[in-house]
Structure 1
Amino acid sequence: MTRNNFAPYITISREEWAKRSDDPMLHLLNDIDTLQGINEPLTKEEITQIYVPLSRLLNLYVSGAQRLHAATNSFLGSRITKVPYIIGIAGSVAVGKSTTARVLQRLLSTWPNHPKVDLVTTDGFLYPNKILEQRGIMNRKGFPESYDIRRLIQFLASVKSGAERVSAPVYSHLEYDILPDQLQWIESPDIVIVEGVNVLQVRPRQQQKEPTIFVSDFFDFSIFVDAELQDLQQWYIARFKSLRNTAFQNPDSYFHRYAHLSDAESEAVAANIWNEINRPNLELNILPTRFRASLILEKGDHHFVQSLKLRKI
């Protein structure tokens, strides 16, 4: 463990972090295959050494928030509506945010003091393709301007106010668009995990004509999943090739036109998409938010976490 009295983070090696594990939780994870993403290896060792300790730390933070809530009720002599603890997860396309979110949802739901854990992805708050096309930004999907930030903030404000039932729009990766007739309902959860590439992003002040509210203002804890640029590109290309052989084969897939590409053609197309869209978004909008996170998970080229940076309290 590296301690620098003048740095905002404590750097912790994988080996040191793993000492905080809790083996009894492992029997709850007998379906790892349902939690991992495409081309994102997930092993019992990764869960044991990285995610179980993280769930223990988050349990301590959530428990502290619950005690503070009870103390406030006692002080005021009244019953204040319980509000969920909100965890944000950010990082590049193909870094493994969704896997991290699903594993944490499963682990956190096993703790008796916060069994109801909901997961929301910000994909649902993208503008519909029709609007993106009208604005000429279809090729900037995933950039900050492609999201309905006002609706996302309204959603988070309702959740954080303790509203009993709040809806979120649903996104289809098959159709590559918002599903207009579907909603995800969030009903009095203990914890809400919000996952998306730009959840820690802030907009330039000069664009604001009113007081600025950021998505991250609603987070109690935030995680940034990090990796080297060259690894991210390789993972993206590998995922594209896997999707070519699976989801893209569906005639209803937006990307069905890529289903019959050769390996070489797939690599060329994926590399072009990466360099034209995903890498610029990463460098301009996502990476600059890394040090706004409470915790940074630093992955090696094997896709497993090799070290962590935990913000000092």
Structure 2
Amino acid sequence: MTRNNYAPYITISREEWAKRSDDPMLHLLNDFETLQGLNEPLTMEEITQIYVPLSRLLNLYVSGAQRLHAATNSFLGSQFLKVPFIIGIAGSVAVGKSTTARVLQRLLSAWPNHPKVDLVTTDGFLYPNKVLEQKGIMNRKGFPESYDIRRLIQFLANVKSAKERVSAPVYSHLEYDILPNELKWIESPDIVIVEGVNVLQVRPRQQQKEPTIFVSDFFDFSIFVDAEMEDLQQWYIDRFKSLRQTAFRNPESYFHRYAHLSDKESEVIATNIWNEINRPNLELNILPTRFRASLILEKGGHHFVQSLKLRRI
């Protein structure tokens, strides 16, 4: 009789994970407050116990890839250019992906052999609002169909082809739109971190004749930042209320009309946005990709990681 005991992940408690820390790196984060997002608590304890060990693990993966590249060159008797190691970070709106990406960028740049670490968010690859309006999907911004996937894949293909200088479009959260005359340039990086809600999406178009290429095909390692649905909704509402006192105050903000709402009005509107847009996108498109990640960071209601799942090799 055969038994199916396949378990693709190793589950690691916070306490066990923290034992893999590396204290000498902490001097690099004296200004860690600048790395945290709005309403996302970030403490030195979280950095020490979660992110430093994670950077150490990623450094091992990157070093291994670099050794494999050198071995391949030796075997072929050639000197092909080293391609960047690409890390994808996925997860819901308000889960803290951006904070995770910024902290990892800072830590990874301190390890030897890969000092240049670039960070790209997929917001820049959203279609401009004008196009979304023409397509009738302005209320589905953040869903897979709202992205110029062809342009994103071409960007990643250029990066993985070791092109010395590659451009990415820039998104303005203030204007809630793509900035048509601005580009972010990626120049010969050692590591590129790509952060976005749907970067692990693999839903192909119907009746597609050419071979299907997914964004995640370019990733060497992927991370999914996870949390309970109820916590995500509350974090989104809390963030919306905070933005009302900060970014929404700017007269040029797309959401300036929300700046003078009361707490109760803000909660009603944020809840409606969550239920009509963010929750459906999470349930339909984002959560189903969770178990495609190399590593899952499982957050508790306090916004801190309480356990991790690392894919077996």
TM-score (norm 2): 0.98
Using the TM superposition, give the Cα deviation of residue 176 of structure 1 relative to its aligned residue in structure 2, in angstroms.
0.1
* TM superposition shift of 1:8: 0.1
8 Å contact kept, 1:88–1:219: yes
Q: Deviations over 1:60-92 (max 9, x none)?
A: 000000000001111111110110000000000
CA drift at 1:210: 1.6
- Inter-partner Cα distance in structure 2 for 1:222 and 1:184: 22
Give the secondary-structure state (helix, strand or coil) at the position aligned to 1:207: coil
Residue 205 of structure 1 deviates from its aligned partner by 5.4
Task: Note if contact 1:140-1:146 (Cα within 8 Å) is conserved in structure 2.
Answer: yes
In 2 relative to 1, CA 261–207 (structure 1 residues): closer, same or farther, beyond 3 Å? farther
For the 8 Å contact 1:167–1:185, the answer to whether it is kept is: yes
Question: Residue 228 of structure 1 corresponds to which residue in structure 2?
Answer: 228
Change (3 A) 1:3 1:78: farther
Q: 1:56/1:70 Cα in 2 relative to 1: closer, same or farther (>3 Å)?
A: same
- Alpha-carbon separation, structure 1, partners of 2:43 and 2:49: 10
Q: Deviations over 1:161-217 (max 9, x none)?
A: 100000000000000000000000000000000000000001245352321000000
CA distance in 2, matches of 1:209, 1:106: 42
> 1:153, 1:215 within 8 Å by CA — same for their partners in 2?
yes
Q: Matches of 1:31 and 1:243 in 2, distance apart?
A: 22
Aligned to 2:101: 101
- CA distance in 2: counterparts of 1:197 and 1:19, whole angstroms: 30
* Contiguous gaps of at least 5 residues in structure 2: none
Q: Residues 184, 14 of structure 1: CA spacing in aligned structure 2 closer, same or farther, 3 A cutoff?
A: same
Query: How far, CA to CA, are the matches of 2:287 and 2:96 in structure 1?
Result: 15
Question: Is the 1:89–1:199 Cα contact (8 Å) retained in structure 2?
Answer: yes
Partner SS state of residue 5, structure 2: coil
Question: 2: CA distance between counterparts of 1:3 and 1:246?
Answer: 56
5+ residue gaps, structure 1: none
User: Is the 1:11–1:310 Cα contact (8 Å) retained in structure 2?
Assistant: yes
CA drift at 1:3: 16
User: How many residue pairs were aligned?
Assistant: 313
SS at structure 1 position matched to 2:206: helix
Higher mean C-alpha deviation, range 297-306 or range 203-212:
203-212
Tell me if structure 1 keeps the 8 A contact 2:244–2:259. yes
Aligned to 2:151: 151
* TM-score of the two chains, using structure 1 as the length reference: 0.98
- Are the aligned partners of 2:169 and 2:178 in contact in 1 as well (CA < 8 Å)? yes
Superposed CA deviations along residues 268-294 of structure 1, whole A, max 9, x for unmatched, are 000000000000000000000000000
Q: Which of structure 1's runs of 4+ aligned residues deviate more than 6 A?
A: 1-4
> Take 1:33 and 1:306, find their aligned partners in 2: how far apart are those partners?
21
Q: Is the 8 A contact 1:98 1:195 kept in 2?
A: yes
Deviation at 1:118, TM superposition (A): 0.1
Aligned 8 A contact 1:3 1:10 in 2: no
Q: Residues 2 and 29 of structure 1: is their aligned pair in 2 closer, same or farther, counting only changes over 3 Å? A: farther
Contact 1:122 1:196 in 2 (8 A): yes
**In 2, Cα distance between equivalents of 1:32 and 1:216:** 29
Give the drift of 1:33: 1.2
Residues 1:3 and 1:238: Cα distance change in structure 2 (over 3 Å): farther
Tell me: CA distance 1:218–1:16, structure 2 relative to 1, closer, same or farther (3 Å). same
1:72–1:277 CA distance, 2 compared to 1 (3 A): same
Once the 2 structures are TM-superposed, how far is the Cα of residue 2 of structure 1 from its aligned partner? 22
Alignment of 1:12-161 (within 5 A): 12-161=12-161
Aligned sequence identity (%): 90
* Equivalent residue, structure 2, for 1:248: 248
